[in-house]
Amino acid sequence: VQNQSIRIRLKAFDHKLIDKSAKEIVETVKRTGAKVKGPIPLPVKKHKTTILTSPHKDKDARDQYEIRTHKRTLDIIEPSEKTLDALTKLELSAGVLVQISLDEV
């Protein structure tokens, strides 16, 4: 797996959960001897929804809800077979979406 790099993208609604998962990945990769860049925090996406609280009139009575999506990126440079095995066996907490892509350097 020489001359390759692995890019891992993490998405979650809870920033504590995503930071914990990123820390676990970094510790696992460093234990196997590969180099890690990151976790790099990406901009937070905010999705706002406005709902009328009154069923009939009163357009002034509204509630606003917001969902924040936190993202982190990790780059693993020159991973070994040992690194790939450790990453596949790693169990991250539920609620974290993981996307892995393999790039040629």
Phi, psi dihedrals of residue 102, rounded to the nearest 5°:
-105, 125
Q: Which domain holds residue 38?
A: 4-42+70-104
Q: Please check whether residue 26 lies inside any domain of the structure.
A: yes
Interatomic CA distance for residues 3 and 48, integer angstroms: 43
Interatomic CA distance for residues 43 and 62, integer angstroms: 28
pLDDT at position 66 over 70? yes
pLDDT tens digits along 27-46: 998 888 888 998 999 999 99
Q: How many domains does the chain have?
A: 1
Handedness of CA 89, 71, 40, 101 (dihedral sign): positive
Q: Please check whether residue 62 lies inside any domain of the structure.
A: no
Q: Please check whether residue 51 lies inside any domain of the structure.
A: no
65 is written with which tokens?
A: 């809800």
Q: Please check whether residue 38 lies inside any domain of the structure.
A: yes
Residue 40: the pLDDT is 92
